[in-house]
Amino acid sequence: MSRVLLVCGSLFLAGSMMEGGSPGARVPVLLELFTSEGCSSCPPADRFLEKLDREQPVAGADLIVLSEHVDYWNQLGWADPFSSQLYSQRQREYASHQGGEVYTPELVIDGQKGLVGSDEREVMQAVRGAARGQKAMLQVGAEKVDRQLKVTVRLSEPADGVLYVALAHDAMKSNVLRGENAGRGLSHVAVVYAIQKVGKVDRQSDTTHEARISLPPGISSEKTRVVAFVEKTAGGRVVAVGQTRL
């Protein structure tokens, strides 16, 4: 370990038969992978996240994935083109909540549990546990307006916490020329390119919220995943999450 309009997502559709489970409501689980193209231990975690996203292997769970590329590897030979200080800071905040360290590849599950992202056995066990929890139902809609995305989030019931919206490329590839992964072609799923704190929500606030997120220069909204989630202000636990795609 080294360091377009309105599409509804995560509506808890009938689940397919997985791991012997029976069809029924699916609980969304947010998986945030903190990774870097400069880290030789990260590609296995990147591939595992792609597998989780593609195969959805946990009965009763709707796995919503995000790849957040940190920037603290950039000075070691390869500047990750998808990295941002914002994602490094987000990971540090999780570490502060959880009393842990900052490392890559780290997979944070529902804002509560951080694990080595390539440890398939531990990750699967933690995801199964997260799928047994309860979350408020959340619908996400999005449309492009000029150089912005207008995002509408509807909660089935009021929730307490902070609402975030993340925009992510559906899939990206990169040829790494230097650093620990020099000469390797890497692929990533749900690569975050923007994340915005919409604001606090509580049980007295409206259940419908709107955000406008400016697209970064040179970024197209095509094949974008729009992920919305509510985190508890104390501890970072995710109490609602959903997504849609453009």
Taken in order of first residue, the domains within the chain and their CATH numbers are: 27-245 (2.60.40.2150)
Percent of the chain with pLDDT over 70: 90
223 confidence band (pLDDT: 50, 70, 90): very high
Question: Does position 125 have pLDDT exceeding 50, yes or no?
Answer: yes
Are 109 and 236 in contact by the 8 Å Cβ rule? The answer is no
For position 74, what pLDDT does the model report?
97
Predicted pLDDT at 24: 57
Is residue 52 helix, strand or coil?
Answer: helix
Q: Kindly report, residue by residue over 21-67, the tens digit of the pLDDT.
A: 334 579 999 999 999 999 999 999 999 999 999 999 999 999 999 99
Give the span between the Cα atoms of 19 and 163, in whole angstroms: 32
What mean pLDDT is reported for the chain? 89
Q: What are phi and psi of 120, to 5 degrees?
A: -60, -40
User: Tokens at residue 133, please?
Assistant: 């929890």
Mean pLDDT (whole number) for 214-237: 92
Closest CA to 29 of 135, 106, 115: 135
Tell me the mean pLDDT in the region 128-143: 93
How would residue 13 be classed by pLDDT, with cut points 50, 70 and 90? very low
pLDDT at residue 197 tops 60: yes
231 CB neighbour count, 10 Å cutoff: 24
pLDDT at residue 237 greater than cutoff 80: yes
pLDDT of amino acid 208: 94
pLDDT digits (tens, 9 = 90+) for 86-116: 999 999 999 998 888 999 999 999 999 999 9
pLDDT at residue 22 in the model:
38
Measured CA to CA, the distance from residue 246 to residue 129 in angstroms comes to 30
Mean pLDDT value of segment 123-141: 94
* pLDDT band at residue 17 under the 50/70/90 scheme: very low
Would you state the pLDDT for residue 205? 82
pLDDT of residue 3: 44
Q: What are phi and psi of 131, to 5 degrees?
A: -70, -15
The answer to whether residue 5 scores a pLDDT higher than 70 is: no
Q: What is the pLDDT of residue 136?
A: 87
* Residue 82 in this model has a pLDDT that exceeds 70: yes
How sure is the predictor about 1, in pLDDT bands with cuts at 50, 70 and 90?
Answer: low
